[in-house]
Amino acid sequence: MPAQFPAPLTGHAPAAGRWGLLAQFPAPLAGRCSPVLRLRAVVALGRWGSTRSSEVESAGGWAQAAPRKRGRATPPPRRLPRARALHPGAWWLWSLSLGVAASRTTNPLLLGLLITVTGYVVAVCRSRTAPWSRSYAAFARLGLAVLVVRLAFTVFLGSPVPGAHTLVTLPEIPLPHWAQGIRLGGRVTAEALVFALYDGLRIATLLICVGAANALANPARLLKSLPGALYELGVAVVVALTFAPHLVADVQRLRAARRLRGRPDSGLRGLLQVALPVLEGALERSVALAAAMDARGYGRSADVPARVRRTTAALTLGGLLGVCAGLYGLLTTEGGGYGLPVLLAGVAAALAGLRLGGRRSPRTRYRPDPWDARAWLVAGAGAAVAALLTLASVRDPAALQPGVVPLVAPTLPLWPAAAVLLGLLPALAVPKEPS
Q: 7 in a domain, yes or no?
A: no
Residues 309 and 189 in one domain: no
Q: 108 in a domain, yes or no?
A: yes
Q: Which residues contact 127 (CB under 8 A, 6 or more apart)?
A: 133, 432, 433, 434, 435
> For residue 182, what pLDDT is reported?
75
Beta bridge partners of 170: 186
What does the pLDDT look like over 245-271, one tens digit per residue?
777 788 888 888 888 888 877 777 777
What's the CA gap between 63 and 74, in Å, rounded? 27
Q: 249 in a domain, yes or no?
A: yes
Would you give the DSSP letter of residue 132? Answer: G
What's the CA gap between 243 and 347, in Å, rounded? 29
Q: 84 in a domain, yes or no?
A: no
What's the CA gap between 406 and 388, in Å, rounded? 28
Q: 233 in a domain, yes or no?
A: yes
Residues 118 and 266 in one domain: yes
Helices 190-216 and 88-103: crossing angle in degrees, nearest 10, is 170
Residues 131 and 103 in one domain: yes
Q: Which of 58, 80, 108 is the last residue of a domain?
A: 58
Short-list 392, 391, 379, CA closest to 423: 379
Of 57-61, 336-340, 343-347, 403-407, give the lowest mean pLDDT range: 57-61
Question: What is the number of structural domains in the chain?
Answer: 3
Q: Which of 58, 79, 107 is the last residue of a domain?
A: 58
58 vs 401, more confident? 401
Residues 151 and 36 in one domain: no
Residues 260 and 128 in one domain: yes
What's the CA gap between 7 and 26, in Å, rounded? 10
Residue 141 — pLDDT band, cuts 50, 70, 90?
Answer: very high
Q: Which of 312, 328, 360 is the last residue of a domain?
A: 360
Cα dihedral across residues 238, 244, 249, 254: positive or negative: positive
Residue 359 — pLDDT band, cuts 50, 70, 90?
Answer: low
Q: Which amino acid is at 270?
A: G
Residues 276 and 329 in one domain: no
Read off φ and ψ for residue 167, nearest 5 degrees.
Answer: -90, -45
Q: 214 in a domain, yes or no?
A: yes
What would you report as the CA-atom Rg of the chain, rounded to the nearest whole angstrom? 36
Tell me the average pLDDT across 394-400.
Answer: 85
The H-or-E segment that residue 172 falls in is strand 166-173
CB 417 within 8 A of CB 110: yes
> For residue 114, what pLDDT is reported?
95
Domain that holds residue 27: 17-58
Residues 116 and 180 in one domain: yes
CB crowding 349-386: b at 16 or more within 10 Å, else e: bbebbbebbbbbbeeeeeeebeeeebbebbbbbbbbbb
Residues 98 and 151 in one domain: yes
Q: 105 in a domain, yes or no?
A: yes
Q: 265 in a domain, yes or no?
A: yes
**What residue spans of 296-433 are helical by DSSP H?**
306-331, 339-357, 373-395, 397-400, 414-421, 425-429
Residues 154 and 282 in one domain: yes
Residue 1 has pLDDT above 70, yes or no: no
422 vs 338, more confident? 422
Which pTM value belongs to this model? 0.62
What's the CA gap between 408 and 245, in Å, rounded? 40
Residues 240 and 379 in one domain: yes
What does the pLDDT look like over 196-226, one tens digit per residue?
999 999 999 999 999 999 888 877 777 777 7
Residues 285 and 315 in one domain: no
Q: What percent of the chain has pLDDT over 90?
A: 18
Residues 110 and 259 in one domain: yes
